[in-house]
Amino acid sequence: MTNVLRVAVVGATGYTGSELTAILARHPRTEIAALFSGPSGERVAFSALHPSLRGARGPEVVPFEADALREAGADLVLLATPNETSARLAPSILAFGAKVIDLSGAFRLRDASAYPSWYGFDHPAPELLAEAVYGLTEHCNGELAGARLVANPGCYPTATLLALLPIVDLVEPSQTIVCDVKSGVSGAGKKRDLDYSFAELSGNFKAYGIGRHRHEPEIRAGLGLAASAPLVFVPHLLPTTRGILATLYVSFAEPQSEASILARFEAAYADSALVQVHSAGTLPELRHVVGTPRAEIGFALLDGGRRAVVVSVIDNLLKGAASQAVQNLNRMHQFEEKEGLA
Residues with catalytic function: 155
DSSP notation for 144-193: TTT-SEEEPPPHHHHHHHHHHTTTGGGB-TTSPEEEEEEE-GGGG-S---
Those residues whose C-beta lies under 8 Å from the C-beta of residue 211, and which sit 6 or more positions away, are none
Q: Please report which residue ranges of the chain form alpha helices under DSSP H.
A: 15-26, 66-71, 83-95, 115-118, 155-164, 198-201, 215-223, 258-268, 322-332
Measured CA to CA in angstroms, residue 61 lies from 14, 27, 43, 47, 299 at distances of 11, 19, 5, 10, 43
Phi and psi dihedrals of 93, rounded to 5?
A: -65, -45
Give the whole-angstrom CA distance, residue 125 versus residue 51. Answer: 37
Q: Which amino acid is at 297?
A: I
Q: Which has the closest alpha carbon to 337: 50, 108, 29?
A: 29
Q: Which has the closest alpha carbon to 289: 123, 95, 159, 177?
A: 159
Q: Which amino acid is at 19?
A: E
Q: What is the largest CA-CA distance in the chain?
A: 62
Give the whole-angstrom CA distance, residue 146 versus residue 166. Answer: 26
Give the whole-angstrom CA distance, residue 135 versus residue 125. Answer: 19
Q: Which amino acid is at 129?
A: L
214 within 8 A of 118, measured Cβ to Cβ: yes
Measured CA to CA in angstroms, residue 198 lies from 203, 238, 242 at distances of 9, 12, 13
